[in-house]
Amino acid sequence: MKVLIVDDEVIIRNGLSTVINWEEHGFSLLEPAESAEDALEIVKINQPHIVLTDIQMSGKSGLDLAREVKQMFSETEVIILSGYDDFVYAQKAIREGVGEYLLKTSRPQEIINAVISAKERIIKKQKEVEENQIQKKAFRNKLLEKLLFEEEPDTKLLADVKKFYLNLNNGENTLQVAIVFASKSNEYSSFNRFFQHAVMNTLSEILSFESLEWNGALVLILQNRPSQEELHKVKEAFARTERLMNCHIFTAAGSNVEDIKDLHKSFEKAKHVFGYRWLLGNRGYVSYDNIKDRKGIRKVCSSKEESEMAGLLKSGNTDELKQWVKNLLEQIRLDPDVTPDSFNVFLQSVLISGYRWIERVVSAIGISTPIPDWKMKDEDLLTSSPEDILFQYFDRIMDKYRQMTEGKVHYVQEATIFIQDNLNKNLSLIEVASHVHINPNYFSELFKRETGMGYIEFVKTVRIEKAMAILRETPVKISEVAKQVGYEDIKYFTKLFRLHTGMTPTDFRKKAEKVG
CATH of the domain at 448: 1.10.10.60
* CA distances to 4, 13, 14 from 17, in Å: 10, 6, 5
pLDDT exceeds cutoff 80 at 37: yes
Are 344 and 392 in a shared domain?
yes
Q: Where are the alpha helices (DSSP H) in 180-227?
A: 193-204
Per residue in 228-261, pLDDT (tens digit) is: 787 888 888 888 888 888 888 899 999 888 888 8
Per residue in 120-140, pLDDT (tens digit) is: 999 998 888 888 777 777 777
Q: CA-CA distance, 292 to 254, in Å (whole number)?
A: 11
**Which comes out higher in pLDDT, residue 513 or 499?**
499
How confident is the prediction for the chain on average, in pLDDT?
84
User: Out of 39-43, 291-295, 371-375, 492-496, which region has the weakest mean confidence (pLDDT)?
Assistant: 371-375
Are 284 and 383 in a shared domain?
no
* DSSP strand pairing (217-224 vs 174-183): antiparallel
Please measure the distance between the N-terminal and C-terminal CA atoms of the chain and give it in whole angstroms: 73
210, β-bridge pairs? 221
Answer with the one of 228, 256, 291 that is the final residue of a domain: 291
Percent of the chain having pLDDT more than 70? 90
Residue 215 lies in a domain: yes
Are 373 and 488 in a shared domain?
yes
Per residue in 396-439, pLDDT (tens digit) is: 888 888 877 665 557 788 888 888 888 888 889 999 988 887 78
- With CA atoms as reference, report the closest residue to 402 among 316, 312, 310, 309: 316
Per residue in 59-85, pLDDT (tens digit) is: 898 888 988 998 888 889 999 888 776
51, β-bridge pairs? 4, 78
Residue 368 lies in a domain: yes
Are 67 and 204 in a shared domain?
no
Residue 297 lies in a domain: no
Q: Confidence band (pLDDT; 50, 70, 90) for 44?
A: very high
Q: Confidence band (pLDDT; 50, 70, 90) for 451?
A: confident
Residue 420 lies in a domain: yes
Answer with the one of 125, 144, 163 that is the final residue of a domain: 125
SS3 128: helix
CATH of the domain at 61: 3.40.50.2300
Cα–chain-centroid distance for residue 239?
20
Tell me if 265 sits within 8 A of 324, measured CB to CB.
no
Domain count of the fold of the chain: 3
pLDDT exceeds cutoff 90 at 387: no
Are 451 and 415 in a shared domain?
yes
Q: Which residues contact 248 (CB under 8 A, 6 or more apart)?
A: 182, 183, 184, 185, 242, 282, 283
Are 60 and 119 in a shared domain?
yes
What DSSP string runs through 450-464?
Answer: HHSS-HHHHHHHHHH
Q: CA-CA distance, 56 to 332, in Å (whole number)?
A: 85
* CA distances to 25, 112, 159, 366, 421 from 357, in Å: 75, 82, 60, 14, 8
Are 474 and 351 in a shared domain?
yes
Answer with the one of 291, 322, 345 that is the final residue of a domain: 291
Q: Confidence band (pLDDT; 50, 70, 90) for 166?
A: low
Are 169 and 258 in a shared domain?
yes
| Helix, strand, coil shares, percent, the chain, to 5 | 60, 10, 30
Residue 149 lies in a domain: no
Question: Whole domain around residue 399: which residue ranges?
Answer: 303-515
Are 333 and 276 in a shared domain?
no
Are 460 and 352 in a shared domain?
yes
Q: CA-CA distance, 179 to 267, in Å (whole number)?
A: 8
Are 510 and 411 in a shared domain?
yes
- Torsions phi, psi for 464 (to 5 deg): -65, -40
